[in-house]
Every structure is written in structure tokens, then in C-alpha cells.
Structure 1
């Protein structure tokens, strides 16, 4: 395989990722005419059309989707080989492609990455924010931060911190509609509901000691979004009760902007995990970032969450088991 072919593969992969051949060309230092010529040359060599092209859209063909999967694997293998050489030289540099949920990424991880960059200025980031589980086996993601059980796949998972989902609403909303004292009293309330590609997240299973109660949040009149940051903003604005990660709303609860509802009931515990490729060499920049995030989650769990990290029953148990000072 020639170096020209590798360059063509990178151009094709970038064009598929960015949805634009000219944008891919600019990223790789090519003029639009040069990028177009190289793609045409690649298609002729493969005897296959990789894109359906119009003046406004670049869309992969079936052959293009198949070739893209293999290009990403081949190019990643080359990048991994270079990273292995860098590891021997103890250099922490290059780009880390990281994925996180929208609200957590905007309000917490973004600042942490700035802190990491000050320690390692030769590392840059490509941050993807999405509340759906990224398909790391196909996408160019080195590390994903996700709340909940890791998917059953070829991915490795590192537990980072405790997390639970809680019901919350603004004091203004609760003053208008009342504060539910039992799960049954949720009937008649308004809700902010998150939906994903897998479906709407509106099924709640309440647990308190030996008590169990199931409740389905009605969606007919709910405010619905696929973005956790929007759901939090709508809850703050008083549009209804939201079911949010404690990491996303702990500061709002501390400030009084949001109030926990049915705090004695546990609805869903979803520890934070870092997900990464189990069978891929971990570049030094990714390994150092993972170590940094492990430490940052550990310190922030105590500083930000405190007792909010656990259901009240668990907190009382921990206090009972703690030795007297």
C-alpha cells in the first residue's frame, strides 16, 4: 500500500466524518480541487463509488460505508503503532477523542479538560456530547464517560464514581402544584422526560426498604427532549418534575434552585463509568487522561455530591457504621 493510498483513506474518512469533502480537504491542507481529484482517483482504484454527491450533500453509498469501517480500523492501527513508539519516549501528546453526556460534558468535563490541558499542553481534544451510548467499536472515540451499566460489548469499563438518578423540580413549580409525599401522589403532575434512540426514559421503579412501587411518567403533556442539559434547564424553569443524574443537579440542589422529590425513595443507581476499547493499545495521552479523571471524580464526589451521592437510607447506614470520633 502506498503512502498516497493512506492519504486518500484519511481524506475519505475525514469527509465521511465531517460530511463535507471541502472541509476534509481544509483539515488536511488540500484545496477543494485537489481533494476532489484525490477522491475520484481513490474511487477509480477501488472500482467503486464511495459517495453520492450533490451540491449540498455528501452521502455514503453502501460500498462507502463498508470501506469506511475498514479504513477506520487500518488508520487506527497505524495511529496506535505511532502511539506505542511515543510511549517508549514518554511523550504525552496528540488528540484524544472523548465522548460524554451533554449536561455533564458542558458543565463539568469541559472545565476538567481545560485543567488537564494546562498540565499537558501538547494534548488536544475532540469532544462529542450525546446522551445516547456511542458505538465506540465503529466510531473514532478513545474514551467515553457514561452514567449507568456499561453495554454488553467488546468494551472495557472502569468505574469512576457513584451516581443515582433522582426526581427534582423547581421551588416555584412545587409551590404551584404541591410536593408529592409518595410515588402515588405523582399523578396529576407535569414532567420533563428524556428520550433516546432506545426509547423514552419514563419507567420508574421506586424502592424504599422492602417497599416497591412502579410508576410510568405520562408523556402526553410532558416536555420531551433528547438532551440532558435541556431537561435540566426546563426543570429549573418550572416546567415540571425531571428525573436527573445527581451529578447534573447537585449544585442546583445545594443552591436551592432545585428541590429533591421523594428523597427517601431510590429510583435508579447508575454509577459513572469510563468506557474504552478492550483490545486496542491505549495511547499514553489516553492513559494519562484516564488516571486524571479517576482522581478528579474521586475528589469531586466528596466536594460536590457529599451525602447526595447516596440514597438517605445508605447515608444513615454509613453513618451508623462510622466509628465515633
Structure 2
């Protein structure tokens, strides 16, 4: 909608003069001359078709028209200033970006974010979830890598050891390891082949049981989906115990028997000699959360 308004400079000059009761003080605030303020106010009065000030010695006093206009402009400029302050504050807030796998982000990081916010109210966390390796030079401050390493060129701290075991919805009523052959096995397909991947073949070998040759299975490329399928009672999943800790505590999943087999370790990577206080605070928070599970 088109608005027929006088120039903003004239409105600012009037508002400042009305607030100070002085053209001279308004000029000092706006870094112009008193004559410039007088000209701007005069132009506004011509636009309004009536005087807005009574000019007196060393001060100006609002007319009835000026009294009507002043609070509207004052409140409007205050609202503008508040909005700009909020925008500037948001832009200047410190952010820390953490990169991790999709499953680790969804099931381990996200439930713990509120604790970080409580401890660090001036820092915003940005979580970057991707199963592909992300370069820290792309704006990532902390990368959580799952594997054996090494990770040259970074400061590396072991974060969380991982163990895998069969878990399932208790409604399946599986009581012994031998009962696994009567239910579908849920598989998480590892993106990278490695002899130490925690697979069903490795688990059965560790348990001293023959691996079923023709057994229904359900495969997923994302570990979170495998966990959700297990919670839904679709079968028995071999998944990270660290990632199903909450479901086990709530009784949505059970792990009544072993063995558990070792997975890899999550490592926390930061740039060598990282001196950013917010990044270091996030790193300390990650370590404290991991140590609480030890």
C-alpha cells in the first residue's frame, strides 16, 4: 500500500526537537546544524499544513498538532531501534558448528543440546548431520568422527567407545540367543567395509552360534531407521548401545543377553591449537556428556 509520508529526515528532526524541546540539542544529536533542524521542521509543518512548535527564546514548545504527532513518531522510532538491536544481537551471537553422522546427531547430540544452552546461554549450536566426511575448513568447528583414525592435522580426543548388542521390543518375547533364529534380523548396512564392523556375522561368531542361512531380514542404510524399526517390533536389531540408551531406560527396547561386541570409537576433532573460547566450551561439554556415560 502506498503511503504519502514526508521525508524521514524531517520526521527525525521533529522527533528529536520535540524530545529535547530545543532545535540546538536536536542538531547536536543528529550531527547537523540548528538551521538544518529548523528547515526540516518547517518543511514538515508545510506538509502538515499547520505549525507544530511555538518558537520561544532558547526553547520550542509543541502546539496541539505537535502534541498529537510526537508520541506516534517517538514510539515508532523506539520500535525501529528495538528491532534493529535484536537483529544486530542475533547476527553477533557466537555460533559453534558440530558435524557428526546422521544417527549420532539425532540420537546423541540433539537430546543433550538443552544442557549446553543452559551452561552456555551466549553460544548457539549449529548441528551438521551427514554421513559423508565433512572438511572443517567448510565452516565446521568440531567434527565427531567414527572409526579407527588416524586424523592428521587435527587435535583429536577420544570421545565415546561403542558396543553393539541385539536389542528388540519386549513384545517379541525373545528369551535366549538361540531364539534369534525365530525373528527377523534388522541390519544396518555400513557404508565402509571393514573386518571389524559390528555385523550379525561377527556377533554370531562371538556368541559361538551358527549364523542363520535363510532368515528374514530388514536392512537400512541409516542406523536411526534400524533403531526405529526395532522399537516398532519389526525384528531384532544389532545397534549401538550408546544410541539406544534412552529406549533401554524407558523399556521400549530390551537387551536381555549378550554378548556385546566392540564397535569403533567416536573421536572429537578440532583444528590444531584451537583458541576460540566458544568452541572450547562446546568441546568441554561434549567430553562431560561422554564421561557421564562411562
> What TM-score, normalized by structure 2, do the two folds share?
0.56
1:202 aligns with 2:190: no
Deviations 1:225-264, CA, capped at 9 Å, x for gaps: 222222111001111111111111122223322121542x
Per-residue deviation, 1:191: 1.8
Structure 1 partner of 2:3: none
1:286 aligns with 2:279: yes
> What TM-score, normalized by structure 1, do the two folds share?
0.51
Structure 1 partner of 2:269: 275
1:254 aligns with 2:253: no
Q: Distance in 1 between matches of 2:134 and 2:182?
A: 38
Q: Distance in 2 between matches of 1:187 and 1:153?
A: 44
Q: Distance in 2 between matches of 1:282 and 1:294?
A: 17
Deviations 1:172-203, CA, capped at 9 Å, x for gaps: 22x3xx44435xx6445312222243259635
Structure 2 partner of 1:24: none
Residues 217 and 283 of structure 1: CA distance in aligned 2, closer, same or farther (over 3 Å): farther
1:181 pairs, out of 177, 180, 188, with: 177
Per-residue deviation, 1:158: 0.8
Per-residue deviation, 1:140: 3.2
Structure 2 partner of 1:121: 121
Structure 2 partner of 1:227: 222
Residues 256 and 102 of structure 1: CA distance in aligned 2, closer, same or farther (over 3 Å): same
Structure 2 partner of 1:136: 135
Residues 111 and 189 of structure 1: CA distance in aligned 2, closer, same or farther (over 3 Å): closer
Q: How many residues align?
A: 200
Q: Distance in 1 between matches of 2:231 and 2:260?
A: 22
Structure 2 partner of 1:191: 185
Q: Distance in 2 between matches of 1:105 and 1:217?
A: 33
Q: Distance in 2 between matches of 1:102 and 1:111?
A: 14
1:105 aligns with 2:124: no
Q: Which sections of structure 2, spanning at least 5 residues, go unmatched?
A: 1-91
1:295 aligns with 2:291: no
